[in-house]
Structure 1
Amino acid sequence: MNKGPENKKEIHVSEEEIAKQYQYMNSIKEANAQCEMQTGRKKLAFLQSFGCQMNENDSERLWGMLSEMGYGEGKNSEESDVIIFNTCCVRENAEEKVYGHLGALKKQKMDNQEKIIAICGCMMQQGHVVEHIKKKYRHVDIVFGTHNLYRFPELLNKAVNTRSAVIDVDESAGSIVEGLPIERKDSIKAWVTVMYGCNNFCSYCIVPYVRGRERSRSIEDIVDEIAELGQNNFMEVTLLGQNVNSYGKDFAGNVSFAELLSEINKVEGIERIRFMTSHPKDLTEDIILAMRDSKKVCEHLHLPIQAGSTRILSEMNRKYTKEDYLNLIGRIKEKIPGISLTTDIIVGYPGETEEDFEETLDVLRKVRFDFAYTFLYSRRTGTPAAKSEDQVSEKVKKSRFERLLGVQNKISKEINDTLLGTTEEILVEGLSKNSIWNYTGRTRTNKIVNFKGSKELVGKLVKVKITDIQTWSLEGEVISW
């Protein structure tokens, strides 16, 4: 079995470079320990992550490095010595939130010049954003991007010792980094990135420009990481990539995502496997069969359609038609009966007519998604769609958005209604956010279920009878574990 690319040395950050970063981590750790001895106070860090699950996984790597350097976790920015914003640029409102938070930190920096403010992530891979921060937010100490996250210890060391701004954004196509520490914020479920970047260049999307070209981790490295999770009592892994179905296409040999799923299915200790995100044009028959035949792969698929109109899909550069998508869904349902399906939909893409929008509603009714993540089109500088003069008005976008929610919410409730009285296997995740008595978990089909329980159930697979139905969640009672 070919487990990795022939050009591993070219796309992987060297072991020597990672060793150098550990030296910086040790140096800062020693300085922090000495400071704690003198002041009686441990150095604290505050990290806020915006955006997708890959950003969350990146933040876990940052926390791993921070912990290695001796930082504790601050409850807020005020009490923390290091503040990091890990940013997203997929939608405008995420960027505006970041700018708002940065502005609020200006007084904190004036009051404490030793406080270090860092900003990283996808936003920083855009030149105009970096220039904006340099001009308007001069209290920011460190700016770095997605491709050189591994160099954070070196950048922090430089900022602390020179007391000058450090801007380091790698504009290459990206690389793969192994061997960094990681501190996971969940002890039951884990994110595992299997590939980075995207080659699709959908006309509305900034991701290929900020995350780089597709780069797959080796099967060996992925399986080793997941095996360690299994040994540490993690029950579920979610495989991450901008387009996981393209996994292995950058390798010299014949390695596929279907093969990866089959290998992970053999890992002891792990009971559930999920993955996201899939691209319809790359979801091949062997992946469908691997999902069906790998008992640990959950019966849930997130398959973004983005729009129901073939004309709009062509404008989006999605490389499939409405009919292609519906045929694919038909094959999936035939091979995996009872599978739950979720999707992403963009409302108000430039040039979208009422007829185009009706095609999207038609897809909702025909596919009957369990849930749809719906977004108003957001103009992204640097993408082809942003240059279109045929922008849909905010009023029309919001009206269509509400109509779409009305159709989808009804479908979601009808699907959930069919589960009343059934018994479902639930992975118990912990206390519900809104209760000190109710616990929460998910079915294999990714339905949220709330029920009365006790802390010894956390991390276990239990049988729960569904007793009540909500649009977004289910209520139940534990019958066995």
Structure 2
Amino acid sequence: MNEKQRKEMTQQIREGNPADVKSDQDNLNRLKEKTSDDFVKYFQTTYQPPDIKKARKRGKEEVKYHQDFSVSDDLVGIGKGKKFLIRTYGCQMNEHDTEVMSGILTELGYEATTDTHEADIILLNTCAIRENAENKVFGELGHLKPLKREKPELILGVCGCMSQEESVVNKILEKHHHVDLIFGTHNIHRLPQLVKEAMFGKEMVLEVWSKEGDIIENLPKARRGKTKAWVNIMYGCDKFCTYCIVPMTRGKERSRRPEDIIQEVRHLAAQGYKEVTLLGQNVNAYGKDLADIEFGLGDLMDEIRKIDIPRVRFTTSHPRDFDDRLIEVLAKGGNLMPYIHLPVQSGSSEVLKQMNRKYTREDYLELVGKIKNAIPHAAFTTDIIVGFPNETDEQFEETMTLYEEVGFESAYTFIYSPREGTPAAKKKDDVPMEVKKARLQRLNALVNDYSNKALQKYEGQVVDVLVEGESKNNPNVLAGYTPEQKLVNFEGPKSAIGQIVKVRVTNTKTWTLDGEMIEEAAEVK
């Protein structure tokens, strides 16, 4: 295929953020009739892979806000009598994206199912943070191939962060021809049109925008349950940690308008939700891109604090953006929960420098001290990466001692996983895997010990528990969380589900508490 022919093809993997995207599936179909090698070569030529150098230089282009999402009349009902299934991998942001996609598919007439054999459309909403997450997705694609062969009208799609990676798209094109639909993180609002193209077209539908999308309000959401809700307050990340692919898969930071967020939380409160969690890849950078007002996360939470909803949380924070205003507001308490998830990643200033975290060990400890002074009863958890390229024994020991000094009550721990397209992936690493595994084992032993000690202090105490439902291990036992995010299992009536009840702790374990309910519900002021 020569250059002239290539230019004639409408680019399905798009750069920029066109306000009016028109599909040209016929061009893609003509292209697919070429050999597989030509097809892959074309996309290798047109697709823009994550480029951290270009991403660092990107400007703060104006983000457009759209309040007018709707499903066009010709698409309403195209899913009537059909069912959908979405498998979700990764973070809370992906979980919330799944809620949005479920809402859109429901508006198209589809019904949800958990049975792959019942589904008429299956979407894999993917995560690109670690190699293991990608392996799970490709494994699932392999498992679904016989089903697609048995049921050719099934629409099988891949979306989410993995779809934003060139290597992933190429691998699907080369080895997974049974996939019907690929789209990314910036064009979820285009799902109705994409489903129509996949339903009536003969070939794969592929639309991934390399550049960030606008902010689309009023997207439908099919939330899981009526007790807890996630609320996106911003998208993307500008921090460019050297190990992280998120700035390339999710784009630059874009904040929603505060009035839209506050309205959504008020609506959830009116519907009877008991807890909201404000979401962002770097949630406490909220508002830094709003040029016309000075309004940060602290200001937003101060407004939400006044809404009649019992519990408010936020995730995930970056230590660089955890400012004094936010601490001041969190210290007011009320419905703002005393739980701080603050990823440190390493306890070594040198490793943190290599990670481009832009703070030192001393900076982090100073911040933790400020928060503890303002909120003495706050529970701290964190994320830690073990085995960053060339991490020394001494640097790992600094992580261990920092964990003890802060007194974290839990942590998500990982062995470093190189991600293609990031600077860290290019580093030569002289630390053997067996050494990394041994370090992780030592760290996890420390994490378990501190979790056990943190929970022991609850022995005999009466705690407020937001009851989420039945325990995963025993349908006769209820389970829920304290304000400090501790899981409590106890026997009680099913009528307690969705309520905040008082529970006396009778037994403590490494990760959970056992208790007995002492009254039906706790009034929350």
Q: TM-score range by the shorter chain?
A: over 0.9
Choose from 33, 43, 46 the match for 2:85: 46
* 1:251 is aligned to 2:303: no
Choose from 63, 66, 71 the match for 1:11: 63
C-alpha separation in 1, matches of 2:95 and 2:78: 28
CA drift of 1:391 comes to 4.8
C-alpha separation in 2, matches of 1:214 and 1:329: 25
Secondary structure at the counterpart of residue 192 of structure 2: helix
* 1:27 is aligned to 2:74: yes
C-alpha separation in 2, matches of 1:251 and 1:393: 46
C-alpha separation in 2, matches of 1:218 and 1:381: 33
CA drift of 1:393 comes to 2.1
* 1:261 is aligned to 2:313: no
Whether the aligned pair in 2 keeps the contact of 1:349 and 1:391 (CA below 8 Å) is no
Choose from 427, 433, 450 the match for 1:411: 450
Alignment of 1:183-332 (within 5 A): 183-252=222-291, 253-268=293-308, 270-332=309-371
One-letter identity of the residue aligned with 2:435: V
For each residue in 1:50-109, what CA deviation from the matched residue of structure 2 results, as whole angstroms up to 9, or x when unmatched?
000000000000000111111112222222110100000000000000001111222222
* Residue in structure 1 matched with residue 496 of structure 2 by the alignment: 457
Relative distance call for 1:32 and 1:193 in structure 2 (3 A) is closer
* Residue in structure 1 matched with residue 118 of structure 2 by the alignment: 79
For each residue in 1:446-472, what CA deviation from the matched residue of structure 2 results, as whole angstroms up to 9, or x when unmatched?
000111101111111111111100100
User: After alignment, is 172-181 or 62-71 more displaced?
Assistant: 172-181
CA drift of 1:28 comes to 4.0
C-alpha separation in 2, matches of 1:361 and 1:450: 31
* Residue in structure 1 matched with residue 441 of structure 2 by the alignment: 402
One-letter identity of the residue aligned with 2:472: K
| TM-score (normalised: structure 2) | 0.86
C-alpha separation in 2, matches of 1:45 and 1:364: 44
Q: Give the percent of matched residue pairs that are identical in Structure 1 and Structure 2.
A: 46
C-alpha separation in 1, matches of 2:144 and 2:515: 44
One-letter identity of the residue aligned with 1:30: G
Relative distance call for 1:274 and 1:220 in structure 2 (3 A) is same
For each residue in 1:294-348, what CA deviation from the matched residue of structure 2 results, as whole angstroms up to 9, or x when unmatched?
4111000000000000000000000111111111111111110111000000000
Secondary structure at the counterpart of residue 281 of structure 2: coil
* Residue in structure 1 matched with residue 460 of structure 2 by the alignment: 421
Count of residue pairs brought into register by the alignment:
460
* 1:95 is aligned to 2:134: yes
One-letter identity of the residue aligned with 2:327: I
Whether the aligned pair in 1 keeps the contact of 2:78 and 2:109 (CA below 8 Å) is no
* Residue in structure 2 matched with residue 142 of structure 1 by the alignment: 181
Secondary structure at the counterpart of residue 219 of structure 2: coil
C-alpha separation in 1, matches of 2:235 and 2:458: 37
Whether the aligned pair in 1 keeps the contact of 2:79 and 2:105 (CA below 8 Å) is no
One-letter identity of the residue aligned with 2:433: E
C-alpha separation in 1, matches of 2:113 and 2:501: 35
C-alpha separation in 1, matches of 2:305 and 2:65: 28
One-letter identity of the residue aligned with 1:189: K
One-letter identity of the residue aligned with 1:251: L
CA drift of 1:159 comes to 1.1
CA drift of 1:211 comes to 0.3
C-alpha separation in 2, matches of 1:183 and 1:171: 27
* Residue in structure 1 matched with residue 505 of structure 2 by the alignment: 466
Whether the aligned pair in 2 keeps the contact of 1:13 and 1:177 (CA below 8 Å) is yes
CA drift of 1:10 comes to 4.5
Secondary structure at the counterpart of residue 337 of structure 1: coil
* Residue in structure 2 matched with residue 445 of structure 1 by the alignment: 484
Relative distance call for 1:207 and 1:333 in structure 2 (3 A) is same
Alignment of 1:361-440 (within 5 A): 361-440=400-479
Secondary structure at the counterpart of residue 241 of structure 2: coil
One-letter identity of the residue aligned with 1:118: G
* 1:63 is aligned to 2:102: yes
For each residue in 1:384-422, what CA deviation from the matched residue of structure 2 results, as whole angstroms up to 9, or x when unmatched?
100001253221111000000111211111111111011
Whether the aligned pair in 1 keeps the contact of 2:186 and 2:209 (CA below 8 Å) is yes
* Residue in structure 2 matched with residue 153 of structure 1 by the alignment: 192
CA drift of 1:15 comes to 4.8
For each residue in 1:278-306, what CA deviation from the matched residue of structure 2 results, as whole angstroms up to 9, or x when unmatched?
11111111111111114111000000000
Secondary structure at the counterpart of residue 238 of structure 1: strand
One-letter identity of the residue aligned with 1:119: V
Relative distance call for 1:371 and 1:171 in structure 2 (3 A) is same
Alignment of 1:335-374 (within 5 A): 335-374=374-413
Secondary structure at the counterpart of residue 421 of structure 1: coil
Secondary structure at the counterpart of residue 119 of structure 1: strand
CA drift of 1:383 comes to 0.5
